[in-house]
Chains A and B, each alone.
Chain A
Amino acid sequence: MTGSGLARPTGSTGDEGMRVLLSSVPSDAHTWNLVFLQLALEQAGIRVRNLGACVPTASLLDAACDWQPDAVVISTVNGHGYPDGRHLIGEFRARPPLRSIPIVIGGKLGIAGASDGHRIREMVRLGFDAVFPDDADFTELESFLRGLPATTARAMRSEGGPAC
């Protein structure tokens, strides 16, 4: 399972750099948000694998198990982020190798537009490490990623650690 050609690393990021798996939710066909995030993350020296539009949950889980990213970033703008995200996080945390991988969701999560404190708290309670509503900007995501502890994923990769 790989993303598209856009997922090619752009040079400065060796295997020891941070790895982010970038994806949408199954019902969302939008991709400009994913393209922007990929370029911005790569610009920040982060290695990205971009799974693209309409990603089935099983493909996302397989890619995460296979690639062992330091974080998973879910971006969605079609207004189904809350229901799709709820389902996705349940499946994600149910796989033992994925329990400790940080995962965040952001974008236009509901159809109403403005961010919704109650639903954001619910997403965190269900297992997301952070939620970035529509009015968040890229620097918030970047500083969240920078603040992650030097991860277990990187350590496990260097030991040839467990896959799913």
Chain B
Amino acid sequence: MLTYPPSSFAGYVDSAYRSGSLIVQPRMGFGDPETMRRGLVEVRRSGVRAVGTITLDSYTRTGDYEALRRALDDGVPLNGFPLVTYPHEVTASVLEGVWDSEFPVQVRHGCPLPGDIFAAISDLGLDASEGGPVSYCLPYSRVPLEESIAAWSRACERFAVTSERGVLPHVESFGGCMLGQLCPPSLLLTLTVLEGMFFRAHGLTSVSLSYAQQTHFEQDLEALAALRRLGEEFLPDIDWHTVVYAYMGVYPFERLAAEALLRDAAELAVRGGAGRLLVKTPAEAHRIPTIAENVRSLRLAAAAAARVENAGAAGVRRETGIYEEARALIEAVLELGEDPGTALGRAFERGLLDVPYCLHPDNPGRARSYVDETGRLRWASVGAMPIGPVPGTREITGSDLLASLYYVQRKYDRHALREVRVEPEGNEPGGDLTIR
């Protein structure tokens, strides 16, 4: 197996995992270099095992450097760090003395055409980023999938050669998120595993596979066990770990409810054998969180994680076929071409992959999903995907969709309000608000 260079993102996560700690990580990005630096410093000083994040702004994400330049000239605050536009000395001064072997930093962005971003990452000597040709293209852009696949191939190859300089370049697939909610677990697993194989095909030897917390704890736990099994089967020869995203859909409005959801995410990550957890903050439902709110969430998640243990496959009480469905999808896609990128492109063209409710012109758009009465996320129809037959194929109406989209928010908010009512006046509410 691989030996990690003395200072690497992947090695840091691996050594924490071996010692039984979950790495927690914020989503954090500021346009102002001093604020960005302060954010990294505060995360490092949070007292928990964390890695830092530099999230890029949406002008960089869409490649609109002209608008970015105008915003910088006019002093308009950006929603992230413009890594490509700032001179490298500016970014180096942000990282100086914060980013080291004890505190790895990952760049997160959301760009379907990431050439410039990976060029900057490589120039700066950074070793970790995130994305993927499908997961950074279909949900939020209109860029043709084929172009994204080609651009990601080149970017990965460019990033991979930085290993000649002694770094271990690492890319995390965002495929376990797809629109944040209502993408059934088997398809999330399929996409993140195939993106992991895509990264490997373009020279990367260290990747992470993602899974976003969905609507049902047991279902999520089954999915994470399946993801680890698929990782072992399809990526046996490179370094990988799994990463959980705290719920990415409509977030509860009540602080207590949001915190309960985050605690459940931390428990899920540990019991499901993940190496890392991307946290959310209670502020998320209302606005972009502050540095302090991020740090509070990191501590809360780390504390919740410390209370539970990795359950391994034994933690899954009921198998519902997530693994089998994902495996069938992955195998069907891999038959379409030697290169995983080519295969992915063809799979969407032929409808073998179909992300429910995704409006991108290259998504077939026939699959539908919903949250059933027990809270499990299910297929309503699978389009032409080679899974099924799906019991109870049904038509989804607007009100079905709203009920599914708001299921988690309502469940946690309702529960939190009940808890608050029984709390004595003046007490800091908290404790166990675990919801199943």
Chain A residues in 8 Å Cβ range of B401: 35-36, 39
Q: Which of A3, A5, A10 contacts B395 (CB 8 A)?
A: A10
What's the Cα separation between A3 and B99 when bound, in Å? 44
A29-B140, A31-B179, A32-B405 known; A52 vs B361 contact (CB < 8 Å): yes
Chain A residues in 8 Å Cβ range of B139: 31
Q: Which of A1-43 contact B (CB under 8 A)?
A: 2-8, 10, 29, 31-32, 34-37, 39-41, 43
Chain A residues in 8 Å Cβ range of B399: 40
Q: Which of B390-412 contact A (CB under 8 A)?
A: 395-402, 405
Shortest Cβ gap from B151 to chain A (Å): 17
Q: Cβ of B82 < 8 Å from any Cβ of A?
A: no
**How many A residues have CB within 8 A of the partner chain?**
26
Q: Which of A31-75 contact B (CB under 8 A)?
A: 31-32, 34-37, 39-41, 43, 50-55
Shortest Cβ gap from A5 to chain B (Å): 2
Q: Cβ of A138 < 8 Å from any Cβ of B?
A: yes
**How many B residues have CB within 8 A of the partner chain?**
25
Q: Which of A4, A8, A40 contacts B358 (CB 8 A)?
A: A4
Name the residue among B364, B365, B396, B400 with the largest chain A CB count within 10 angstroms.
B365
Chain B residues in 8 Å Cβ range of A32: 179, 357, 405
Q: Which of B141, B179, B357, B364 contacts A54 (CB 8 A)?
A: B141
A52-B142, A53-B141 known; A34 vs B359 contact (CB < 8 Å): yes
Shortest Cβ gap from B385 to chain A (Å): 13
Q: Cβ of B360 < 8 Å from any Cβ of A?
A: yes
Shortest Cβ gap from A134 to chain B (Å): 14
Chain A residues in 8 Å Cβ range of B357: 6, 31-32, 35
A138 pairs with B360, CB closer than 8 A: no
Chain A residues in 8 Å Cβ range of B402: 36
A5 pairs with B398, CB closer than 8 A: no
Which residue on chain B has the smallest CB distance to residue A111? B287
What's the Cα separation between A79 and B401 when bound, in Å? 23
The residues of A with any CB-CB pair to B shorter than 8 Å are 2-8, 10, 29, 31-32, 34-37, 39-41, 43, 50-55, 138
Of the A-B pairs whose beta carbons lie under 8 Å apart in the complex, a sample of 26, sorted by A's number, is A2-B361, A3-B359, A3-B361, A4-B365, A6-B359, A8-B365, A10-B395, A31-B358, A31-B359, A35-B357, A35-B359, A36-B398, A36-B405, A40-B397, A40-B399, A43-B397, A43-B398, A52-B142, A52-B359, A52-B360, A52-B361, A53-B140, A53-B141, A53-B359, A54-B62, A138-B398
